[in-house]
Amino acid sequence: MNLYKDLLDKKTKLSLVGLGYVGLPIAVAYAEKLDVVGFDINEKKIEAYKSGIDPTKEIGDEGVKNSTVHFTKDETKLRECKFHIVAVPTPTNEDKTPDLRPVEGSSVIVGRNLTKGSIVVYESTVYPGVTEEICVPILERESGLKCGVDFKVAYSPERINPGDKVHRLKNIKKIVSGMDAETLETVAKVYELVIEAGVYRAESIKVAESAKLIENCQRDVMISFVNELSMIFNKMGIDTKAVIDAAGSKWNFIKMNPGLVGGHCIGVDPYYLIHRAKEIGVESKVIASGREINDGMAKYVAENTVKSLIKANKRVKNAKVAVLGITFKEDCPDTRNTKVVDIIKELKEYGVEVLVADPVANKNDIKEEYGLDLVNFEDIKSVDAVVLAVSHSNYREMKIEDFGKLYSKEAVKEAAVTSYVEEKHVFIDVKGIVDKNSVNKDKFVYWRL
């Protein structure tokens, strides 16, 4: 427990390697108790934090500005620390295999600045074995130190839910694990400093790595189930939401809604387990089929948008379609692995002109990452269809007549109830935000998952 005491006495420091949606809240929380070094290789991000700007919106500008975290891109500052938390992304390659370059790269940086008596804790989502079989050898190679003798490793999977203002870092129970009993206890005590909900001590690092994966695999499979139901009921002319609401009247029915599955966790993590299973000779069927269904939902939405345009007697080529929302979830600026981009790509393949608006996404980030120019909601005029892709609170507060203003000028007046034009307008409500009973079917072609 000497390291724990040294942290409390501020004889040494704690570092956060990777300051994104996960790392930043952890760094700020620990800075209330300990001396913290926040490291990231992204100079632009570091400068933003130093200026008191929080692009993640997880902490807020004021929270970052008032924090005592020492934000830096100077990796040598890590030598002042003996408790390192690595929270870097773990995406997939184009062929859906794990892309471990961020976690490997961070291990190189930590390794060459590692000192004796340190503990390195990985929070990045990985398949079972990565921490001990891939990261440890890198740490040893770069530091010249021996794991288990000169330093220890641990794993504590992140459970932060970006954009969630209810389930926050401090009130979500934290899984912790360590390479031995002593490490486990030290890591548990350090996390208990900031996790009010307490910690769960996993029996091994591999158990903790596995637990994180199945949390997201379970949710992915369940969403794929309702997505498949949505496709079935759509063919039958039955409203999926109405069916789910009816079934939800039973006490043990697990209520899930259909939708796009993107982001840095649910849309990615299952591929890590599928990959590892394949390596050991096990074919994943349920998890893999769930991924296939969910990965195909963007194309399914685009196809039904086109069908709805045809149904409304609209031209498809050169049709003007407004896509509202591009982030992977509501009220969160995170656009990692957003499936809305796939809807846009599919529509463009049909020759559709697409206008994209989002009230929370960063315009510069969208341009840099996806090559798309966001427009202001107020500037959208005379569209043939609206695809309401993300249920941002701005959109949830609107009624169908508010969206009606985005169509032709003739449709502005009393769009939900009556109109003096014969032309129908297409409204694709991906998340089922609008009350379908408020939509005048004589004036709108309305479709939702």
Q: Which of 81, 135, 217, 265 is catalytic?
A: 265
Please return the burial class of 306, using the count of CB atoms within 10 Å of its CB with bins 0-12, 13-18 and 19+.
Answer: buried
332 is an active site residue: no
What is the rounded CA–CA span in Å between residue 77 and residue 366?
32
In order, the DSSP letters of 143-190 are: H---BTTTEEEEE------TT-SSS-GGGS-EEEEESSHHHHHHHHHH
- Compute CA distances 176 → 64, 163, 218, 289, 313, whole Å: 26, 24, 20, 31, 58
What is the rounded CA–CA span in Å between residue 354 and residue 372?
10
CB 77 within 8 A of CB 35: no
The residues, any chain, with a CB within 8 Å of residue 397's CB and separated by 6 or more, are none
**Residue 356: strand pairing partners:** 323, 374
What is the rounded CA–CA span in Å between residue 154 and residue 449?
42
Instruction: Please give, one letter per residue, the 3-state secondary structure of 250-318.
Output: CCCCCCCCCCCCCCCCCCCHHHHHHHHHHHCCCCCCHHHHHHHHHHCHHHHHHHHHHHHHHHCCCCCCC
- Compute CA distances 64 → 7, 16, 21, 58, whole Å: 22, 14, 13, 10
Q: Identify which of 31, 67, 264 has the alpha carbon closest to the alpha carbon of residue 163.
A: 264
Please return the burial class of 364, using the count of CB atoms within 10 Å of its CB with bins 0-12, 13-18 and 19+.
Answer: exposed
Region of residue 227 (left: phi > 0; alpha: psi -120 to 50; beta: else): alpha
Structure token digits, residue 289? 């089929």
What is the rounded CA–CA span in Å between residue 14 and residue 26?
11
The residues, any chain, with a CB within 8 Å of residue 222's CB and separated by 6 or more, are 254, 256
Residues labelled catalytic:
265
